[in-house]
Amino acid sequence: MELKMETCWWASLGKKDLLELAYILSKNAIVLWDSYNFPEEFKDKLKEVKSLPDVALLEIAVGLNNKNENLNKDRINELYTLFVTPVLQIRDRNLKLPYVVKSAFLSVFQILKGMQFDWDQSQAMQCFSSSVTRSLDAIKISNIMTLDEISVLAQKYILLNG
């Protein structure tokens, strides 16, 4: 199955499938964040933030594996709150990062943000879609995966999209 290159081919997926796709792609993109060698001036400030995306992805995986029945909403809210300061630093350009590293980090944030909008499906879907876009940008630009590898990874969702 070939990866469709149309913009936002995933937009017609259901909420659960879009969340799963966002999670899978973020999990693959986050290696860019994990492997980035932060400048010395930021290492102390980011000590607690460095592992934050991996911790968040683990918590998201628990929710996905439990089909959201046992989703720890307090923990999701806590993680979302921990992301806010570094996201603001990135957006205000106080924390300058390469685009792919920033996109990988923000892809996880967008998932958490979407999970905050559990009561508003369209807002949640917009956040999950943004996560997919950010992850795909990071993955494609950095060449950590080929289009064929992305296609294999996303095959289930491409087929659901028709």
pLDDT tens digits along 61-119: 988 887 655 567 888 899 999 999 889 988 998 888 899 999 999 999 999 999 988 77
- 12-49: b or e for each residue (b if 16 or more CB lie within 10 Å)? ebeeebbbbbbbbbbbbbbebbeebebeeebeeebeeb
The pLDDT score that the predictor gives to residue 1 is 41
Summarize the confidence of residues 125-144 as an average pLDDT: 95
The pLDDT score that the predictor gives to residue 68 is 52
